[in-house]
Structure 1
Amino acid sequence: MGQGNMQGLVARLRSWQRQRVLRRAALPEPLWRRTIEALPLLHGLDDTELQRLRELATLFLHHKEIHSVADLAVDEAMRVTLAAQAALPILNLGIDWYRGWTTIVLYPGDFIARHRYRDELGLEHEEEAAMAGEAWEQGPVVLSWADVADSGRLDGFNVVIHEFAHKLDMLNGEPNGYPPLHRDMRADDWAEAFSKAFADLEARIERGDESLPLDPYAAEEPAEFFSVASEAFFELPGNLRQDYPEVYRQLAAFYRQDPAARLSGRPGWL
């Protein structure tokens, strides 16, 4: 059997397996409708997009294991709320963009993360920080359920999108704000748009500007800028398009979506 025939056979087998999962693990219609209604983030999606989102959420819950800690009881409504938001960034990319890892850990609220690192002198340090989310390279995504529940309100905060943007960033190595781009995208355009916006945000913070276009955490490093910008892209797309139009254009090309156009009919939207 030739390579082309083998690839075709593998593709058909994977398609059959996914259709089987979608038939056997379909999300209950009433629960899915309640989830969509409760998440303004998903308002504006048309029927075709909502169906695709539902399929991706189903596949997501099939392929990923959700574990809770600290006596957090996770019910099906919580699982679907998480999956629906996680599926949005890959709506036009596909479930394979979340490949290479399987586990999600849910805490009731913020958790303490401990990290060790070496400084430029070779000295080892350990630091602790309270966090709402964390993504490990080739490892789990750790989330605070309280922050997951607060996400999706179109206020610029979305811990699910933030951490899953890190996972997309990690597809080609350590997170650095440069995920694997599509063939019709130019690396130079991406680098120019993000480096200029990053420098602008740093300058505004340095000046002490009270009104910032993004959460100041975005200025920590390029990887955080990409994830925070991704939050803004889906949660406050009109604002991001106005403040950093080139960043918006690059994210629209990467995610294959235009949420500013999708949400433009909402009252008060830019």
Structure 2
Amino acid sequence: MFGWLRRRPASRPVPEALWQTVLQRFAFLRALPGDEALRLRELTSQFLAAKQFHGAQGFVITDEVAVCIAAQAVLPVLYLGLDWYDDFVGIVVHPDEVVAKRVVTDDAGVVHDWDEVLSGEAMDGGPVMLSWRDVADAGQSAAQGYNVVIHEFIHKIDMRDGAADGCPPLRDNSARRAWFAVMQAEYARFREQVIIAERFGGPAPWLDPYGAEAVDEFFAVACEAYFVNRARFEADFPALAPLFDSFFKQQAAGRGG
């Protein structure tokens, strides 16, 4: 795997045939304008050189698998830079969803344990886990704004300041207050939509209802849609689109370091 990257990895692009194969899978990648497409390919190569992929449950990591994941993972940091992913190296890929056992002790000392089905998971300071089935289906699921790779890598961005709170690291407290003023309001609105749909038979929201679990999950779910189906996302969340633009494109606008 990665034979083309064995020497001077950061400067060696993904082979043309392989790159075109990956682009054909994902229309939201093919739709990037020329300068962003070139940047995506460059960062994908750098990402592949910096990370280690591991197959679980017998899953085999091929070049195509790795490039599919890397190309989607670098979308959120296209202008921020790969330093935002420097807290981990490993990416573990399962063939399908994973059942994880959870144990939590509540404030009263009662122990709760359950099984949780996961299509992905990002660990603070640790690796990222992904279901290949969900990764491979990202071209089709973009219509619903769903993308497991972007979801988990947004969690990585969110956790960089030590808290998964629905706000990425920002320059100061004033910027955080402005961010939360929009994010909390949109989260509350979305959560109400989900509750009305689930409890009272109201219309189901377009965005994945999992985003109603907590504000950090809402941030990750909203970013999935922002990157893979911008037009529909902007129509449903007109207040969030410019907020995300201001953060994810900050270097392009001359505001980032």
TM-score (norm 1): 0.83
Partner of 1:237: 230
Partner of 2:23: 36
Q: How big is each residue's C-alpha offset from its partner over 1:157-211, in whole Å with a ceiling of 9 and x where there is no partner?
A: 100000000000010113111111257x822221111111111112222222223
How much has 1:116 moved relative to structure 2?
A: 2.2
How much has 1:34 moved relative to structure 2?
A: 1.8
Structure 1: gaps of 5 or more residues? 1-18, 258-270
CA contact (8 A) 1:112 1:128 kept: yes
- Determine whether 1:96 maps to 2:83: yes
- Determine whether 1:126 maps to 2:113: yes
- 4+ aligned runs moved over 3 Å, structure 1: none
CA contact (8 A) 1:104 1:140 kept: yes
Indicate the SS of the match to 1:112: strand
Alignment of 1:143-154 (within 5 A): 143-153=130-140, 154=142
- Determine whether 1:135 maps to 2:128: no
Alignment of 1:29-108 (within 5 A): 29-108=16-95
Superposed CA RMSD:
1.9
Partner of 2:245: 252
Alignment of 1:161-200 (within 5 A): 161-182=150-171, 186-200=175-189
Alpha-carbon distance in structure 2 between the residues aligned to 1:137 and 1:32: 30
Indicate the SS of the match to 1:89: helix
Among all aligned residue pairs of Structure 1 and Structure 2, give the percentage whose two residues are the same amino acid: 37
Q: What letter corresponds to residue 236 of structure 1 in structure 2? A: N
TM-score (norm 2): 0.87
Alpha-carbon distance in structure 2 between the residues aligned to 1:120 and 1:216: 27
- Determine whether 1:218 maps to 2:211: yes
Q: How big is each residue's C-alpha offset from its partner over 1:91-117, in whole Å with a ceiling of 9 and x where there is no partner?
A: 111110111111111000011112222
Q: Would you say how many aligned residue pairs link Structure 1 and Structure 2?
A: 238
